[in-house]
Structure 1
Amino acid sequence: MGFAVSDELLGTVVPIVVYWIYSGMYMCLGSFENYRLHSKSDEEEKNLVSKLTVVKGVLFQQLLQAAVAILLFTVTGGHAGASSQQPSSFIVLASQFVTAMLVMDTWQYFLHRYFHENKFLYRHLHSRHHRLVVPYAFGALYNHPLEGLLLDTVGGALSFMLSGMCPRTSIYFFSFATIKTVDDHCGLMLPGNPLHIFFRNNSAYHDVHHQLYGSKYNFSQPFFVMWDRILGTCMPYSLEKRAEGGFEARPTKEFKED
């Protein structure tokens, strides 16, 4: 007698497993000093929260996300569109992915930007994420629980519902979104990284945002940079080699003068 696992459960659990496996891989690569955006000493000295606290915070947020995901699948009856089966057409599947990516990017850009512009929300919610001045992989989802609920969980729910994807498709989409989010916070610029080839929104782009000079720029996450470009919040940067090894994302001259 076989044990069947529903797509709804997989769509909830698999992205969490992917998060820790993928971030764990990056933590193992953290000793590659020639590809780090910050030195290990900077990571230890500048960050305002311990790694143990980060792990606990991320696990708590993932627990909340799982509860909301199960509730969402229950309310929608297991599907958001016309069919609960994975589409056989690649074009339909691709359109659902792109739609979900655009919905998630739009939601996260405007809410993320508002968290910065509203002093109360920044102080009491979003500042927790920026305790990681030097981002690292498993700190990608280190947020205030309420921010995580609004920014990530609600954004994910909207992406799922408005794209019309089924639970099976959501397994792949949310796993991919998780990989992209972890990659943006990994603190490494590895040569040949396909995510850096196909997306301008990479670890260096987001690292600029985590620095003091970039707190009013580079709000886009996790996929495209379109809203930053359209609304003038994109801070261009150059990737310079540090004398002690590794890279540094430095804002361009015209932004230094503004």
Structure 2
Amino acid sequence: MACICRASGEVVGTFVPVLVYWVYSGICMALASTGKYRLHPRKEAADKNLVSKRRVLLGVLVQQAFHVALSLYFLKAMRKSRSGAAAGDDAVPTSLLALAGQFLLAMLVLDAWQYFLHRYMHANSFLYRYSHSKHHRLVVPYAFGALYYHTPEGLLLNTIGGFVAVVASGMSIRASIFFFSLVAVKNVDIHCGMWIPWHPLNALFGNNGAYHDLHHQTQGGNYNFSQPFFVFWDRILGTHLPYDVKKREEGGFELRAATEA
């Protein structure tokens, strides 16, 4: 019975964030279809994007299949490495404050991991041309395209980066389910192509749909590398490009670099 519970915990830890990704993507796509919060008109998305939604869907599913396999391996390795602990690897911190500290540390580690790798992907012309440019075929990003990467790059940025953050923070497998689910939500959020003024994540994090959307545009390609939570690496290292969002008369919002406002 204990083995079954441990195995089920690993499966839950692997598949729940994937499910959260698609549920939240569906909500965002439904909101975008209303046109009320879009940062780009539909025609602009159709004209500028260099890949079809069908191909993006297939690419994301392939990415997630590899993610699932690697996650199962990592979670089993985590459990095995902690098997000698008296409280077991599913033990939780003694207080919510300790758990919050683990989450914050994991966020900071993941942000650092993704900022420097992401920036290097742009700085290295070979890596950009043959790997990262695939992600930028979505000039006008949308929710479920958040994980549209070349598979090795996506695994390095997201899967491996996520587990480095979890191990560095010391959180349990049970806690990691919630962390990876939050990461899934934030990845979708920054790629949703919308500005939602009332969204609570906009109040909690500086990295949002408008901030990262600007990075996908011509004027922002060398800026706003931070993802998925905070923006302080951009500010510290001079790659921060502020944005200006204005409401369109015909509906939705217009996004521009603040220096052009």
Question: 1:62 matched to which residue of 2?
Answer: 64
Gap regions ≥5 residues in structure 1: none
Q: Distance in 1 between matches of 2:81 and 2:186?
A: 24
Question: 1:135 matched to which residue of 2?
Answer: 141
Find runs of 4+ consecutive structure 1 residues off by over 3 angstroms: 78-83
Change (3 A) 1:124 1:209: same
Kindly report the root-mean-square deviation, in angstroms, between the aligned alpha carbons of the 2 structures.
1.8
Residue 32 of structure 1 and its aligned partner are, at CA, apart by 2.5
**Structure 1, residues 35-65: CA drift from partner, whole Å, max 9, x if none?**
1100111111111101111111111111111
TM alignment of 1:66-81, pairs within 5 A: 66-77=68-79
Change (3 A) 1:175 1:79: farther
TM alignment of 1:36-115, pairs within 5 A: 36-77=38-79, 83-84=88-89, 85-115=91-121
Question: 2:217 matched to which residue of 1?
Answer: 211
Q: Distance in 1 between matches of 2:102 and 2:201?
A: 19
Structure 2 residue 248 is the aligned partner of structure 1 residue 242: yes
Q: Tell me, yes or no, if the aligned pair for 1:26 and 1:137 is still in contact at 8 Å.
A: yes
TM alignment of 1:162-173, pairs within 5 A: 162-173=168-179
- Percent same amino acid among aligned pairs? 55
Q: Distance in 1 between matches of 2:36 and 2:30?
A: 14
For residue 177 of structure 1, the aligned residue among 178, 183, 187 is 183
Q: Distance in 2 between matches of 1:7 and 1:74?
A: 10
What one-letter code is carried by the residue in structure 2 that aligns with 1:86? V
Secondary structure of the residue that 1:72 maps to in structure 2? helix
What one-letter code is carried by the residue in structure 2 that aligns with 1:50? S
**Structure 1, residues 8-55: CA drift from partner, whole Å, max 9, x if none?**
211100000001111011111122223110011111111110111111
Q: Tell me, yes or no, if the aligned pair for 1:47 and 1:133 is still in contact at 8 Å.
A: yes
TM-score, normalised via structure 1 length: 0.93
Structure 2 residue 153 is the aligned partner of structure 1 residue 147: yes
Moved more, 196-205 or 84-93: 84-93
Gap regions ≥5 residues in structure 2: none
What one-letter code is carried by the residue in structure 1 that aligns with 2:149? N
Q: Distance in 2 between matches of 1:39 and 1:227?
A: 31
